[in-house]
Structure 1
Protein backbone atom coordinates (compact mmCIF):
# COMPACT_ATOMS: atom_id res chain seq x y z
CA UNK A 1 0.00 0.00 0.00
CA UNK A 2 1.34 3.48 -0.79
CA UNK A 3 2.69 5.80 1.81
CA UNK A 4 2.67 4.77 5.45
CA UNK A 5 0.05 2.04 5.25
CA UNK A 6 1.07 -1.44 6.48
CA UNK A 7 1.45 -4.26 3.95
CA UNK A 8 -1.53 -6.33 2.90
CA UNK A 9 -0.61 -9.26 5.13
CA UNK A 10 -0.88 -7.02 8.19
CA UNK A 11 -4.62 -6.65 8.05
CA UNK A 12 -5.66 -9.82 6.23
CA UNK A 13 -8.36 -11.36 8.26
CA UNK A 14 -8.53 -14.43 10.31
CA UNK A 15 -5.65 -16.11 11.96
CA UNK A 16 -3.70 -18.55 13.87
CA UNK A 17 -5.88 -20.81 15.98
CA UNK A 18 -6.28 -19.83 19.61
CA UNK A 19 -6.07 -23.12 21.46
CA UNK A 20 -8.61 -22.91 24.21
CA UNK A 21 -9.07 -24.83 27.42
CA UNK A 22 -11.87 -24.18 29.87
CA UNK A 23 -11.58 -22.91 33.41
CA UNK A 24 -13.75 -24.99 35.71
CA UNK A 25 -16.02 -23.49 38.30
CA UNK A 26 -17.78 -25.27 41.12
CA UNK A 27 -20.34 -26.72 38.72
CA UNK A 28 -17.62 -28.25 36.54
CA UNK A 29 -19.17 -26.72 33.40
CA UNK A 30 -17.05 -25.28 30.62
CA UNK A 31 -16.57 -21.53 30.53
CA UNK A 32 -18.63 -19.89 27.77
CA UNK A 33 -15.71 -17.77 26.54
CA UNK A 34 -13.48 -20.84 26.34
CA UNK A 35 -16.14 -22.63 24.29
CA UNK A 36 -16.15 -19.81 21.75
CA UNK A 37 -12.38 -19.98 21.38
CA UNK A 38 -12.15 -23.78 21.40
CA UNK A 39 -10.04 -25.19 18.52
CA UNK A 40 -11.42 -27.60 15.97
CA UNK A 41 -9.52 -30.50 14.41
CA UNK A 42 -9.67 -28.98 10.93
CA UNK A 43 -9.52 -25.36 9.79
CA UNK A 44 -11.17 -23.89 6.75
CA UNK A 45 -8.75 -21.98 4.56
CA UNK A 46 -9.09 -18.23 4.54
CA UNK A 47 -10.49 -17.04 1.25
CA UNK A 48 -10.75 -13.74 -0.54
CA UNK A 49 -13.98 -11.95 -1.27
CA UNK A 50 -13.90 -10.79 -4.88
CA UNK A 51 -17.50 -9.67 -5.18
CA UNK A 52 -17.85 -6.24 -6.71
CA UNK A 53 -20.10 -3.78 -4.95
CA UNK A 54 -21.14 -0.22 -5.65
CA UNK A 55 -19.89 2.09 -2.91
CA UNK A 56 -19.85 5.86 -2.80
CA UNK A 57 -16.41 6.21 -1.26
CA UNK A 58 -14.74 4.94 -4.47
CA UNK A 59 -12.30 2.64 -2.72
CA UNK A 60 -10.86 -0.03 -5.01
CA UNK A 61 -13.06 -3.12 -5.15
CA UNK A 62 -11.86 -6.69 -5.46
CA UNK A 63 -8.56 -8.45 -4.93
CA UNK A 64 -6.57 -8.95 -1.71
CA UNK A 65 -7.82 -5.74 -0.12
CA UNK A 66 -11.31 -7.19 -0.04
CA UNK A 67 -10.15 -10.31 1.81
CA UNK A 68 -12.29 -9.63 4.87
CA UNK A 69 -15.55 -9.59 2.95
CA UNK A 70 -15.94 -13.37 2.86
CA UNK A 71 -16.18 -13.54 6.65
CA UNK A 72 -18.76 -10.76 6.77
CA UNK A 73 -20.88 -12.38 4.07
CA UNK A 74 -20.65 -16.04 5.15
CA UNK A 75 -19.27 -16.43 8.68
CA UNK A 76 -21.17 -19.68 9.12
CA UNK A 77 -18.86 -21.29 6.54
CA UNK A 78 -15.91 -21.17 8.96
CA UNK A 79 -15.18 -23.17 12.11
CA UNK A 80 -14.52 -21.62 15.52
CA UNK A 81 -10.79 -21.81 14.83
CA UNK A 82 -11.33 -19.06 12.24
CA UNK A 83 -14.54 -17.24 13.18
CA UNK A 84 -14.79 -16.74 16.93
CA UNK A 85 -18.46 -15.75 16.84
CA UNK A 86 -20.95 -13.83 14.74
CA UNK A 87 -24.35 -12.21 15.01
CA UNK A 88 -26.53 -10.02 12.79
CA UNK A 89 -24.29 -6.98 13.27
CA UNK A 90 -20.73 -8.25 13.72
CA UNK A 91 -18.27 -11.03 12.98
CA UNK A 92 -15.25 -11.66 15.22
CA UNK A 93 -12.32 -13.52 13.65
CA UNK A 94 -8.71 -14.48 14.28
CA UNK A 95 -6.20 -12.35 12.40
CA UNK A 96 -4.35 -14.42 9.81
CA UNK A 97 -1.04 -12.65 10.49
CA UNK A 98 -1.18 -11.85 14.22
CA UNK A 99 1.19 -9.16 15.48
CA UNK A 100 0.87 -10.29 19.12
CA UNK A 101 0.27 -13.58 20.84
CA UNK A 102 -3.45 -12.80 20.68
CA UNK A 103 -4.89 -10.82 17.76
CA UNK A 104 -8.57 -10.70 16.85
CA UNK A 105 -10.54 -8.56 14.40
CA UNK A 106 -14.09 -7.28 14.82
CA UNK A 107 -15.92 -6.82 11.51
CA UNK A 108 -19.13 -4.74 11.40
CA UNK A 109 -21.70 -6.10 8.95
CA UNK A 110 -23.63 -2.86 8.27
CA UNK A 111 -23.51 -2.57 4.48
CA UNK A 112 -23.68 1.22 4.67
CA UNK A 113 -20.54 1.38 6.82
CA UNK A 114 -18.35 -1.62 6.12
CA UNK A 115 -16.45 -0.14 3.16
CA UNK A 116 -16.06 3.33 4.62
CA UNK A 117 -12.81 4.56 6.11
CA UNK A 118 -13.09 4.18 9.91
CA UNK A 119 -12.77 7.94 10.41
CA UNK A 120 -15.93 8.35 8.33
CA UNK A 121 -17.88 5.31 9.53
CA UNK A 122 -17.36 6.13 13.21
CA UNK A 123 -18.75 9.65 12.84
CA UNK A 124 -22.23 8.12 13.18
CA UNK A 125 -22.94 8.20 16.95
CA UNK A 126 -25.44 5.33 16.89
CA UNK A 127 -23.10 3.12 14.92
CA UNK A 128 -20.15 4.13 17.08
CA UNK A 129 -21.99 3.13 20.25
CA UNK A 130 -22.77 -0.29 18.77
CA UNK A 131 -19.14 -0.79 17.77
CA UNK A 132 -17.89 0.25 21.21
CA UNK A 133 -20.30 -2.12 22.95
CA UNK A 134 -19.32 -5.08 20.75
CA UNK A 135 -15.63 -4.26 21.06
CA UNK A 136 -16.00 -4.33 24.84
CA UNK A 137 -17.60 -7.77 24.58
CA UNK A 138 -14.76 -9.10 22.44
CA UNK A 139 -12.16 -7.50 24.71
CA UNK A 140 -13.59 -9.40 27.67
CA UNK A 141 -13.47 -12.60 25.66
CA UNK A 142 -9.85 -11.94 24.68
CA UNK A 143 -8.90 -11.17 28.29
CA UNK A 144 -10.30 -14.53 29.34
CA UNK A 145 -8.08 -16.22 26.77
CA UNK A 146 -5.00 -14.37 28.03
CA UNK A 147 -5.81 -15.58 31.54
CA UNK A 148 -6.19 -19.14 30.28
CA UNK A 149 -2.82 -18.98 28.56
CA UNK A 150 -0.74 -17.04 31.03
CA UNK A 151 -2.58 -17.02 34.35
CA UNK A 152 -0.47 -19.90 35.64
CA UNK A 153 2.65 -17.75 35.22
CA UNK A 154 1.22 -14.51 36.63
CA UNK A 155 2.06 -13.39 40.15
CA UNK A 156 -1.20 -11.41 40.31
CA UNK A 157 -3.19 -14.51 39.39
CA UNK A 158 -1.60 -16.92 41.89
CA UNK A 159 -4.41 -16.75 44.43
CA UNK A 160 -7.03 -17.21 41.72
CA UNK A 161 -5.15 -20.18 40.26
CA UNK A 162 -5.03 -21.83 43.69
CA UNK A 163 -8.77 -21.35 44.06
CA UNK A 164 -9.41 -22.85 40.61
CA UNK A 165 -7.39 -25.92 41.54
CA UNK A 166 -9.10 -26.37 44.90
CA UNK A 167 -11.43 -29.32 45.40
CA UNK A 168 -14.10 -28.20 45.70
CA UNK A 169 -13.50 -24.67 44.33
CA UNK A 170 -14.78 -21.76 46.43
CA UNK A 171 -18.16 -20.17 45.76
CA UNK A 172 -16.44 -16.96 44.67
CA UNK A 173 -13.10 -16.78 42.86
CA UNK A 174 -10.53 -14.08 43.71
CA UNK A 175 -10.50 -11.41 40.97
CA UNK A 176 -6.85 -11.94 40.06
CA UNK A 177 -5.08 -9.99 37.35
CA UNK A 178 -7.04 -7.53 35.22
CA UNK A 179 -6.16 -8.99 31.83
CA UNK A 180 -8.44 -6.52 30.04
CA UNK A 181 -5.80 -3.87 30.72
CA UNK A 182 -3.48 -5.92 28.50
CA UNK A 183 -5.79 -5.71 25.47
CA UNK A 184 -5.64 -2.84 22.95
CA UNK A 185 -8.73 -2.10 20.85
CA UNK A 186 -8.64 0.27 17.91
CA UNK A 187 -8.20 0.95 14.21
CA UNK A 188 -5.34 1.90 11.94
CA UNK A 189 -5.38 5.48 10.69
CA UNK A 190 -4.77 4.18 7.17
CA UNK A 191 -6.11 0.61 6.91
CA UNK A 192 -4.70 -1.70 4.25
CA UNK A 193 -7.94 -3.68 3.95
CA UNK A 194 -11.11 -2.24 2.43
CA UNK A 195 -13.62 -3.55 4.96
CA UNK A 196 -13.95 -1.77 8.27
CA UNK A 197 -12.28 -3.73 11.07
CA UNK A 198 -11.34 -3.11 14.69
CA UNK A 199 -8.21 -4.74 16.11
CA UNK A 200 -8.49 -6.43 19.51
CA UNK A 201 -4.90 -7.31 20.30
CA UNK A 202 -2.75 -8.17 23.31
CA UNK A 203 -0.10 -5.59 24.17
CA UNK A 204 2.95 -7.89 23.92
CA UNK A 205 3.81 -7.49 20.20
CA UNK A 206 5.43 -10.92 20.45
CA UNK A 207 4.90 -12.78 17.17
CA UNK A 208 6.92 -14.26 14.35
CA UNK A 209 4.56 -12.35 12.03
CA UNK A 210 5.94 -9.05 13.31
CA UNK A 211 8.71 -8.63 10.73
CA UNK A 212 9.52 -4.97 10.12
CA UNK A 213 9.05 -1.34 11.11
CA UNK A 214 5.55 -0.89 9.73
CA UNK A 215 4.36 -3.99 11.55
CA UNK A 216 5.62 -2.72 14.88
CA UNK A 217 4.87 0.99 14.54
CA UNK A 218 1.35 0.43 13.25
CA UNK A 219 0.49 -0.80 16.76
CA UNK A 220 3.00 1.26 18.76
CA UNK A 221 2.45 4.84 17.60
CA UNK A 222 -0.62 7.09 17.17
CA UNK A 223 -1.14 5.32 13.84
CA UNK A 224 -3.18 2.96 16.04
CA UNK A 225 -6.23 4.90 17.22
CA UNK A 226 -8.04 3.46 20.27
CA UNK A 227 -11.74 2.92 19.70
CA UNK A 228 -12.50 4.80 22.92
CA UNK A 229 -10.96 7.96 21.40
CA UNK A 230 -13.81 8.24 18.90
CA UNK A 231 -15.40 10.46 17.79
CA UNK A 232 -12.22 12.29 16.76
CA UNK A 233 -12.01 16.05 16.54
CA UNK A 234 -11.83 17.39 12.99
CA UNK A 235 -8.33 18.74 13.65
CA UNK A 236 -6.99 15.57 15.31
CA UNK A 237 -3.47 15.07 13.92
CA UNK A 238 -4.04 11.32 13.67
CA UNK A 239 -6.23 12.03 10.66
CA UNK A 240 -2.99 12.74 8.75
CA UNK A 241 -0.85 9.65 9.48
CA UNK A 242 1.41 10.07 6.44
CA UNK A 243 2.12 13.72 7.26
CA UNK A 244 2.92 12.80 10.86
CA UNK A 245 5.23 9.97 9.75
CA UNK A 246 4.12 7.54 12.45
CA UNK A 247 5.28 4.43 10.62
CA UNK A 248 8.75 5.88 9.97
CA UNK A 249 9.51 6.56 13.61
CA UNK A 250 12.27 4.79 15.51
CA UNK A 251 11.44 1.66 17.46
CA UNK A 252 10.36 2.46 21.02
CA UNK A 253 9.65 -0.46 23.35
CA UNK A 254 5.96 -0.54 24.22
CA UNK A 255 6.71 -1.51 27.81
CA UNK A 256 9.93 0.10 29.05
CA UNK A 257 10.27 2.96 26.55
CA UNK A 258 13.78 2.04 25.39
CA UNK A 259 14.68 3.57 22.01
CA UNK A 260 16.13 1.04 19.55
CA UNK A 261 16.47 3.47 16.66
CA UNK A 262 16.20 1.39 13.50
CA UNK A 263 17.72 -1.78 14.99
CA UNK A 264 14.91 -4.24 14.40
CA UNK A 265 16.79 -7.43 15.35
CA UNK A 266 17.66 -5.91 18.73
CA UNK A 267 14.06 -4.88 19.22
CA UNK A 268 12.83 -8.41 18.48
CA UNK A 269 15.15 -9.93 21.08
CA UNK A 270 14.08 -7.29 23.57
CA UNK A 271 10.39 -7.98 22.88
CA UNK A 272 10.91 -11.62 23.78
CA UNK A 273 12.42 -10.60 27.12
CA UNK A 274 9.60 -8.15 27.77
CA UNK A 275 7.03 -10.81 26.92
CA UNK A 276 8.46 -13.21 29.49
CA UNK A 277 8.42 -10.50 32.18
CA UNK A 278 4.97 -9.20 31.19
CA UNK A 279 3.21 -12.56 31.46
CA UNK A 280 4.67 -13.06 34.94
CA UNK A 281 3.35 -9.79 36.37
Structure 2
Protein backbone atom coordinates (compact mmCIF):
# COMPACT_ATOMS: atom_id res chain seq x y z
CA UNK A 1 0.00 0.00 0.00
CA UNK A 2 1.31 3.43 -0.92
CA UNK A 3 2.10 5.80 1.95
CA UNK A 4 -0.58 8.15 0.69
CA UNK A 5 -3.30 5.51 0.51
CA UNK A 6 -5.76 4.92 3.31
CA UNK A 7 -6.81 1.51 4.59
CA UNK A 8 -10.22 0.52 5.96
CA UNK A 9 -9.26 1.44 9.54
CA UNK A 10 -7.93 4.92 8.71
CA UNK A 11 -10.09 7.74 10.05
CA UNK A 12 -8.81 10.23 7.47
CA UNK A 13 -8.60 10.25 3.68
CA UNK A 14 -5.52 9.60 1.56
CA UNK A 15 -5.60 13.28 0.56
CA UNK A 16 -5.40 14.30 4.22
CA UNK A 17 -2.58 11.83 4.78
CA UNK A 18 -0.71 13.38 1.85
CA UNK A 19 -1.52 16.91 3.02
CA UNK A 20 -3.28 17.80 -0.24
CA UNK A 21 -6.90 18.00 0.94
CA UNK A 22 -8.52 21.47 1.13
CA UNK A 23 -7.76 23.03 4.52
CA UNK A 24 -9.39 25.99 6.28
CA UNK A 25 -7.73 29.37 6.26
CA UNK A 26 -5.58 29.97 9.36
CA UNK A 27 -8.11 32.52 10.66
CA UNK A 28 -11.02 30.08 10.64
CA UNK A 29 -10.16 27.55 13.33
CA UNK A 30 -7.71 26.66 16.03
CA UNK A 31 -6.10 28.10 19.13
CA UNK A 32 -4.84 31.61 18.62
CA UNK A 33 -6.68 32.14 15.34
CA UNK A 34 -9.35 34.51 14.21
CA UNK A 35 -8.59 37.55 16.38
CA UNK A 36 -6.45 40.62 15.96
CA UNK A 37 -4.85 40.06 19.35
CA UNK A 38 -4.80 36.85 21.31
CA UNK A 39 -2.92 36.87 24.61
CA UNK A 40 -2.86 33.07 24.65
CA UNK A 41 -1.11 32.84 21.30
CA UNK A 42 1.24 35.68 22.19
CA UNK A 43 2.20 34.02 25.46
CA UNK A 44 2.52 30.42 24.27
CA UNK A 45 3.68 30.85 20.69
CA UNK A 46 7.35 30.97 19.72
CA UNK A 47 8.71 34.48 19.31
CA UNK A 48 8.67 35.59 15.69
CA UNK A 49 11.93 36.29 13.96
CA UNK A 50 12.57 39.92 13.12
CA UNK A 51 10.91 40.92 9.85
CA UNK A 52 11.59 37.49 8.48
CA UNK A 53 9.05 35.19 6.92
CA UNK A 54 9.00 31.74 8.50
CA UNK A 55 10.49 28.98 6.41
CA UNK A 56 8.21 26.01 7.16
CA UNK A 57 8.93 22.47 6.09
CA UNK A 58 5.60 22.49 4.28
CA UNK A 59 3.95 24.10 1.30
CA UNK A 60 1.22 26.73 1.66
CA UNK A 61 -1.38 23.97 1.40
CA UNK A 62 0.35 21.94 4.07
CA UNK A 63 1.80 19.14 1.94
CA UNK A 64 5.07 18.16 3.59
CA UNK A 65 8.30 18.13 1.67
CA UNK A 66 11.69 16.55 2.16
CA UNK A 67 11.68 13.44 4.36
CA UNK A 68 8.41 14.37 6.09
CA UNK A 69 5.93 13.08 3.55
CA UNK A 70 2.50 11.52 3.90
CA UNK A 71 2.25 9.41 7.08
CA UNK A 72 5.51 10.88 8.37
CA UNK A 73 4.27 14.45 7.96
CA UNK A 74 3.87 15.30 11.64
CA UNK A 75 7.59 14.76 12.12
CA UNK A 76 8.24 18.12 10.48
CA UNK A 77 6.76 19.89 13.49
CA UNK A 78 8.81 18.06 16.08
CA UNK A 79 11.98 18.37 13.98
CA UNK A 80 11.81 22.16 13.62
CA UNK A 81 8.76 23.80 15.22
CA UNK A 82 10.22 27.31 14.93
CA UNK A 83 10.01 27.13 11.14
CA UNK A 84 6.21 27.16 11.29
CA UNK A 85 3.99 30.20 11.91
CA UNK A 86 2.18 30.68 15.23
CA UNK A 87 -1.09 29.98 13.43
CA UNK A 88 0.11 26.38 13.26
CA UNK A 89 2.46 25.84 16.23
CA UNK A 90 0.89 26.89 19.54
CA UNK A 91 3.92 26.20 21.74
CA UNK A 92 6.93 23.94 21.97
CA UNK A 93 9.50 22.86 24.48
CA UNK A 94 12.28 20.28 24.67
CA UNK A 95 9.84 17.37 24.99
CA UNK A 96 6.63 18.37 23.19
CA UNK A 97 5.15 20.44 20.38
CA UNK A 98 1.49 21.53 20.40
CA UNK A 99 -0.08 22.45 17.07
CA UNK A 100 -3.42 23.34 15.54
CA UNK A 101 -4.60 20.43 13.41
CA UNK A 102 -4.27 21.13 9.69
CA UNK A 103 -7.66 19.48 9.13
CA UNK A 104 -9.63 20.34 12.30
CA UNK A 105 -12.73 18.29 13.06
CA UNK A 106 -14.14 20.84 15.54
CA UNK A 107 -13.98 24.59 15.99
CA UNK A 108 -10.85 24.08 18.11
CA UNK A 109 -8.71 21.04 17.36
CA UNK A 110 -5.14 20.72 18.58
CA UNK A 111 -2.52 17.97 18.58
CA UNK A 112 0.16 17.25 21.15
CA UNK A 113 3.30 15.77 19.60
CA UNK A 114 5.91 14.16 21.87
CA UNK A 115 9.51 14.72 20.77
CA UNK A 116 10.74 11.27 21.72
CA UNK A 117 12.02 8.16 19.90
CA UNK A 118 9.03 6.37 21.43
CA UNK A 119 6.80 8.57 19.30
CA UNK A 120 7.56 6.34 16.34
CA UNK A 121 5.89 3.40 18.09
CA UNK A 122 2.19 2.61 18.04
CA UNK A 123 0.61 4.31 21.08
CA UNK A 124 -0.29 0.92 22.58
CA UNK A 125 3.43 0.08 22.64
CA UNK A 126 4.74 3.56 23.43
CA UNK A 127 2.54 3.86 26.51
CA UNK A 128 3.87 0.62 27.99
CA UNK A 129 6.71 2.80 29.33
CA UNK A 130 5.26 4.29 32.55
CA UNK A 131 7.66 7.24 32.62
CA UNK A 132 6.84 8.24 29.06
CA UNK A 133 3.10 7.76 29.66
CA UNK A 134 3.21 9.93 32.78
CA UNK A 135 4.99 12.71 30.88
CA UNK A 136 2.44 12.58 28.05
CA UNK A 137 -0.48 12.60 30.47
CA UNK A 138 0.94 15.62 32.32
CA UNK A 139 1.54 17.59 29.13
CA UNK A 140 -1.89 16.64 27.82
CA UNK A 141 -3.40 18.08 31.00
CA UNK A 142 -1.52 21.32 30.34
CA UNK A 143 -2.78 21.55 26.76
CA UNK A 144 -6.33 20.78 27.96
CA UNK A 145 -6.19 23.79 30.29
CA UNK A 146 -5.03 26.04 27.47
CA UNK A 147 -7.67 24.79 25.01
CA UNK A 148 -10.36 25.21 27.69
CA UNK A 149 -9.29 28.84 28.13
CA UNK A 150 -9.55 29.29 24.38
CA UNK A 151 -13.08 27.89 24.38
CA UNK A 152 -14.06 30.22 27.20
CA UNK A 153 -12.58 33.16 25.31
CA UNK A 154 -14.57 32.27 22.19
CA UNK A 155 -17.86 31.10 23.62
CA UNK A 156 -18.07 32.37 27.19
CA UNK A 157 -20.18 35.33 26.12
CA UNK A 158 -22.88 32.93 24.89
CA UNK A 159 -22.89 30.65 27.94
CA UNK A 160 -25.40 30.96 30.78
CA UNK A 161 -22.82 29.46 33.15
CA UNK A 162 -20.34 32.20 32.25
CA UNK A 163 -22.81 35.10 32.31
CA UNK A 164 -21.72 36.59 35.65
CA UNK A 165 -18.06 36.27 34.74
CA UNK A 166 -18.64 37.92 31.36
CA UNK A 167 -20.69 40.73 32.93
CA UNK A 168 -17.86 41.45 35.36
CA UNK A 169 -15.27 41.48 32.59
CA UNK A 170 -17.44 43.85 30.56
CA UNK A 171 -18.05 46.18 33.54
CA UNK A 172 -21.76 45.40 33.64
CA UNK A 173 -21.51 44.24 37.25
CA UNK A 174 -19.51 45.88 40.02
CA UNK A 175 -16.87 43.58 41.48
CA UNK A 176 -14.52 44.08 44.38
CA UNK A 177 -10.92 44.74 43.31
CA UNK A 178 -8.71 41.75 43.97
CA UNK A 179 -11.62 39.37 44.44
CA UNK A 180 -11.23 36.28 42.20
CA UNK A 181 -13.50 36.09 39.18
CA UNK A 182 -16.21 33.42 39.23
CA UNK A 183 -14.89 30.22 37.72
CA UNK A 184 -17.90 29.87 35.44
CA UNK A 185 -18.36 26.99 33.04
CA UNK A 186 -15.98 24.03 33.23
CA UNK A 187 -14.76 24.16 29.66
CA UNK A 188 -12.37 21.24 30.19
CA UNK A 189 -15.45 19.02 30.35
CA UNK A 190 -16.29 20.21 26.83
CA UNK A 191 -13.16 18.61 25.40
CA UNK A 192 -12.41 15.33 23.68
CA UNK A 193 -8.94 13.99 24.41
CA UNK A 194 -7.07 10.96 23.21
CA UNK A 195 -5.39 8.92 20.51
CA UNK A 196 -6.99 6.97 17.71
CA UNK A 197 -6.89 3.20 18.15
CA UNK A 198 -5.62 2.98 14.58
CA UNK A 199 -3.48 6.11 13.99
CA UNK A 200 -3.34 7.28 10.39
CA UNK A 201 -0.03 9.12 10.91
CA UNK A 202 3.19 7.46 12.03
CA UNK A 203 4.18 9.96 14.70
CA UNK A 204 2.32 9.60 17.98
CA UNK A 205 -0.15 12.45 18.45
CA UNK A 206 -2.77 13.20 21.06
CA UNK A 207 -5.95 14.98 19.99
CA UNK A 208 -7.34 17.73 22.23
CA UNK A 209 -10.45 19.24 20.65
CA UNK A 210 -13.80 20.79 21.46
CA UNK A 211 -16.84 18.51 21.45
CA UNK A 212 -18.83 20.43 18.84
CA UNK A 213 -17.60 18.68 15.65
CA UNK A 214 -18.27 21.86 13.69
CA UNK A 215 -15.80 22.08 10.82
CA UNK A 216 -15.73 22.10 7.06
CA UNK A 217 -13.16 19.29 7.43
CA UNK A 218 -15.75 17.00 9.07
CA UNK A 219 -16.67 15.43 5.74
CA UNK A 220 -17.71 11.82 6.22
CA UNK A 221 -18.78 9.04 8.55
CA UNK A 222 -15.28 7.91 9.52
CA UNK A 223 -14.29 11.44 10.45
CA UNK A 224 -17.23 11.68 12.81
CA UNK A 225 -17.11 8.20 14.32
CA UNK A 226 -13.38 8.44 14.96
CA UNK A 227 -14.26 10.99 17.65
CA UNK A 228 -17.66 9.65 18.69
CA UNK A 229 -16.89 6.01 19.48
CA UNK A 230 -14.26 4.10 21.51
CA UNK A 231 -12.00 4.52 18.47
CA UNK A 232 -10.79 7.60 20.41
CA UNK A 233 -9.01 6.43 23.57
CA UNK A 234 -8.33 8.94 26.33
CA UNK A 235 -4.67 8.96 27.39
CA UNK A 236 -5.95 8.78 30.98
CA UNK A 237 -7.17 5.23 30.22
CA UNK A 238 -3.66 3.91 29.57
CA UNK A 239 -2.13 1.46 30.06
CA UNK A 240 -4.88 -0.66 28.48
CA UNK A 241 -5.64 -4.16 29.68
CA UNK A 242 -4.56 -6.93 27.32
CA UNK A 243 -8.19 -7.85 26.61
CA UNK A 244 -9.45 -4.28 26.13
CA UNK A 245 -11.68 -4.34 22.98
CA UNK A 246 -10.31 -0.95 21.94
CA UNK A 247 -7.11 -2.74 20.95
CA UNK A 248 -9.02 -4.18 17.97
CA UNK A 249 -10.87 -1.26 16.31
CA UNK A 250 -11.41 -3.07 13.03
CA UNK A 251 -12.92 -6.13 14.66
CA UNK A 252 -15.18 -3.94 16.81
CA UNK A 253 -16.27 -1.91 13.77
CA UNK A 254 -16.12 1.47 15.54
CA UNK A 255 -15.84 3.53 12.35
CA UNK A 256 -18.84 1.82 10.72
CA UNK A 257 -21.26 2.31 13.59
CA UNK A 258 -24.47 4.28 13.17
CA UNK A 259 -24.07 8.04 13.31
CA UNK A 260 -25.34 9.32 16.67
CA UNK A 261 -25.47 12.92 17.80
CA UNK A 262 -22.80 13.52 20.42
CA UNK A 263 -25.14 15.79 22.42
CA UNK A 264 -28.67 14.32 22.29
CA UNK A 265 -27.92 10.77 21.14
CA UNK A 266 -30.28 10.80 18.16
CA UNK A 267 -29.48 8.02 15.70
CA UNK A 268 -29.01 9.17 12.10
CA UNK A 269 -27.93 5.69 10.94
CA UNK A 270 -25.85 6.40 7.80
CA UNK A 271 -27.38 9.79 6.93
CA UNK A 272 -24.32 11.99 7.31
CA UNK A 273 -25.85 15.05 5.62
CA UNK A 274 -28.79 15.00 8.04
CA UNK A 275 -26.40 14.63 10.97
CA UNK A 276 -24.42 17.68 9.79
CA UNK A 277 -27.59 19.77 9.62
CA UNK A 278 -28.52 18.61 13.11
CA UNK A 279 -25.05 19.45 14.46
CA UNK A 280 -25.50 23.06 13.36
CA UNK A 281 -28.50 23.33 15.67
CA UNK A 282 -26.82 21.50 18.54
CA UNK A 283 -23.79 23.76 18.30
CA UNK A 284 -25.90 26.86 18.96
CA UNK A 285 -27.61 25.21 21.94
CA UNK A 286 -24.31 23.87 23.32
CA UNK A 287 -22.79 27.35 23.36
CA UNK A 288 -25.70 28.60 25.47
CA UNK A 289 -25.36 26.03 28.26
Instruction: Compute the TM-score of the two structures, normalised by the length of structure 1.
Output: 0.86
Q: CA RMSD in A?
A: 2.7
Matched, 1:259 2:275: no
Cα offset, 1:35, TM superposition? 3.5
Cα offset, 1:9, TM superposition? 5.3
1:194-231 alpha-carbon deviations (Å, 9 max, x no partner) = 10000001001111110101000000001011111111
**Aligned residue among 215, 220, 225 for 2:223:** 215
CA distance in 1, matches of 2:272, 2:201: 25
**Aligned residue among 112, 115, 119 for 1:109:** 115
Residues 11, 95 of structure 1: 8 Å contact kept: no
Residues 17, 70 of structure 2: 8 Å contact kept: no
CA distance in 1, matches of 2:138, 2:36: 25
Match of residue 177 from structure 1: 185
Query: Structure 1 residues 22, 166: CA separation in 2 closer, same or farther (over 3 Å shift)?
Result: farther
Residues 10, 215 of structure 1: 8 Å contact kept: no
1:173-206 alpha-carbon deviations (Å, 9 max, x no partner) = 1111110111111000001101000000100111
Residues 112, 208 of structure 2: 8 Å contact kept: yes
Match of residue 198 from structure 2: 190
**Aligned residue among 57, 64, 88 for 1:48:** 64
Structure 1 stretch 245-254 or stretch 169-178: which is displaced more? 169-178
Query: Structure 1 residues 20, 268: CA separation in 2 closer, same or farther (over 3 Å shift)?
Result: closer
Structure 2: stretches of 5+ with no match in the other structure: 1-5
CA distance in 2, matches of 1:77, 1:47: 15
Runs of 4+ in 1 over 6 A off after TM superposition: 11-15
Matched, 1:84 2:100: no
Matched, 1:275 2:283: yes
Cα offset, 1:119, TM superposition? 0.8
Match of residue 147 from structure 1: 152
Query: Structure 1 residues 153, 22: CA separation in 2 closer, same or farther (over 3 Å shift)?
Result: farther
Match of residue 3 from structure 2: none
Partner SS, residue 157 of structure 1: helix
Structure 1: stretches of 5+ with no match in the other structure: 24-29, 52-61
Cα offset, 1:36, TM superposition? 2.9
Match of residue 27 from structure 1: none
Report 1:18-33 matches (<5 A). Answer: 18=30, 19=33, 31-32=39-40
CA distance in 2, matches of 1:187, 1:3: 17
Match of residue 123 from structure 1: 128
CA distance in 2, matches of 1:160, 1:196: 38
**Aligned residue among 97, 102, 107 for 1:96:** 102
Residues 93, 106 of structure 1: 8 Å contact kept: yes
Residues 218, 247 of structure 1: 8 Å contact kept: yes
Matched, 1:199 2:200: no
Structure with more relative contact order (C-alpha pairs < 8 Å, separation 6 or more): 1
Instruction: Compute the TM-score of the two structures, normalised by the length of structure 2.
Output: 0.83
CA distance in 2, matches of 1:189, 1:64: 19
Match of residue 132 from structure 1: 137
